[in-house]
Amino acid sequence: MLWLISSVFTWLGGFFRSRHDLGLEIIALRHQLAVLKRSTKQARLHATDRLFWVLLHRFFPRWSGSLLIVKPETVVAWHRKAFRTYWRFRSQPKKVGRPSTSTEIRAMVERMARENPTWGAPRVHGELLKLGIQVSERTVSRYLSRLRRNGNAGQRWRTFLNNHREVIVGMDLFTVITLNFRILYGLFLIHHHRREILHFNSTEHPTSEWIVQQLREALPGGSDQHYVILDRDKKFGDVVLKFLDSCGIASVRTSYQSPWQNGVAERWVRSFRNELLDHVIVVDECHLRRLAQNYLRYYHEDRTHDGLGKDTPAKRLPQARNAGEQLHATPRLGGLHHRYYWARAA
């Protein structure tokens, strides 16, 4: 900025000098600039340099003839950029209109909408008024519509599962690689209420007819299951759906790429892999069925579940310790897991 002030005083001083001296000084300065331009590939300019040329080109008509370090188009581009910056500053939004809704009120509206899916804006607004919160119903309605536009399908799905878990069965297929790199498919049905595995079987070729036969064995006549949750695997085709419909059982398809909607079944597959399959090499179908039978016995009778309040599907009763009893363990699944109990030393 100091050199800019100095340039102004130099310009003023030029009025007191002869035109001959000014002409010679201009020739000398131009020659020095030409030498610098030959020796420097690109000049480094600061914001004040750009401001100087932007102002000069507004007040000096022949400014382009005196320009050597950059092109005249560059100075025009600087001017346009300064114009955009100026109007961006002038166009900054002002704090006008209605005051914004506080984060606390938005959180309360979201909680009421989540916990009461059937409530509309009038009900939520009424609850807020009873809590002494003054907010317009239009504001509540606008925020609710935004919430539901973003989607609360997860909440509706969880509500459906919680309200019908006594009559819901999850069904799924998973793959197992054998010793000789064959692919086996395991099919199972799990009851949501007690996490009980109703049926398990495996095959190398899971056709729709084979799946229907497994359903006949798992869900005999007079079954009290009302819903079967299954994904969009092509193996669960029209033949499977028609069979379920003929049995009076509603088939509930999960959404695309939404395995969490059949989360009970998916979680069992993970447990089966982590607790057994990841520690053995499956030889063939018979070996897989034998491993599954042993695991299901352990799963139903011994393994506690968070979803069941630390209970087992078969309702394992707590054991009280009597005098003189010591902790004993019974190996399960070849020693991968154990069941503990109190007993007297032999």
Alpha carbon distance 195, 197 (integer Å): 7
Residues 6+ apart with CB under 8 A from 207: 235
Helices (H), the chain: 2-13, 19-39, 47-59, 72-90, 103-115, 121-130, 137-150, 153-164, 208-218, 238-246, 263-275, 285-301
pLDDT at 120 over 70: yes
Domain boundaries, the chain: 2-88, 103-151, 163-308
Half-sphere exposure (Cβ direction) of 58: Cα atoms closer than 13 Å = 9
C-alpha distances (whole Å) from 341 to each of 10, 195, 295, 305, 320 are 101, 23, 19, 18, 9
Residue type, 71: K
Average pLDDT, rounded, for the chain: 79
Please tell me which residue, 119 or 295, carries the higher pLDDT value. Answer: 295
Q: How far apart, in whole angstroms, are the C-alpha atoms of residue 213 and residue 208?
A: 9
d(CA 108, CA 124): 9
Interatomic CA distance for residues 245 and 228, integer angstroms:
10
pTM above 0.75, yes or no: no
Give me the phi and psi of 41, to 5 degrees please. -70, -45
User: Which DSSP string corresponds to 51-89?
Assistant: HHHHHHHHH-TTGGGG--SS-HHHHHHHHHHHHHHHHHH
Given this model, what pLDDT does residue 146 score?
Answer: 77
Lowest mean pLDDT among 75-84, 106-115, 134-143: 75-84
The more confidently predicted of residues 288 and 75 is 288
Closest CA to 78 of 100, 59, 112, 55: 55
CATH class for the domain made up of 163-308: alpha beta
- Give me the pLDDT at residue 298, please: 93
268-295 pLDDT, tens digit per residue, is: 999 999 999 999 999 999 999 999 999 9
User: For residue 344, what is the enclosing H or E element?
Assistant: strand 337-344
Structure confidence by residue, pLDDT tens digits, 6-56: 666 665 666 666 666 666 666 666 655 665 665 666 666 666 666 665 666
Collapsing DSSP to helix, strand or coil, 311 comes out as: strand
